[in-house]
Amino acid sequence: MKLNAKSDPSASQSVSASILVVEDDLLNGFLIEETLHLAGHRVLGPAKTVPRALALLESCQVDAAILDLQIQDQTSLLVARRLDDLGIPWAFTTGHSSAEIPAQFEHIPVLKKPFSINNLLELTSDALGRRRGFS
């Protein structure tokens, strides 16, 4: 599927930002990366491992993040905690039940897989809006 930001009005309204993407699935990672690029964002990743995600987080400016809950044989909760420590807004994507997300993160938006391009752009816009809310 070819993505076209011009056909999506929400893509042209978003603010350019650096978005950390933590996703170990090749196709989902490509979809997220391409969608965010077409919306004018800089994508860090997709990081396919928790150590890589943490390294990107420490070495790059990150405005917001999109984390797949399940990364290989572990969760992305270490990355989530670090994002919270830094005050960087983020959201989960997952194919798992919401019950598998720890209670401390119940306030975090969750985008259930499979998701649409519009839902991804709305999630990203919401995360960036929460960052501006902290400013």
Q: Where are the domains of the chain?
A: 15-134
pTM of the model as a whole: 0.86
Q: Which helix (H) or strand (E) holds 44?
A: strand 42-47
pLDDT digits (tens, 9 = 90+) for 53-76: 999 999 999 999 999 999 999 999
* DSSP class of 7: G
Peptide bond before residue 9 is cis, with ω within 30 degrees of 0: no
3-state class (DSSP) for residue 62: coil
If you average pLDDT over residues 31-53, what whole number do you get? 97
15-134: CATH architecture: 3-Layer(aba) Sandwich (3.40)
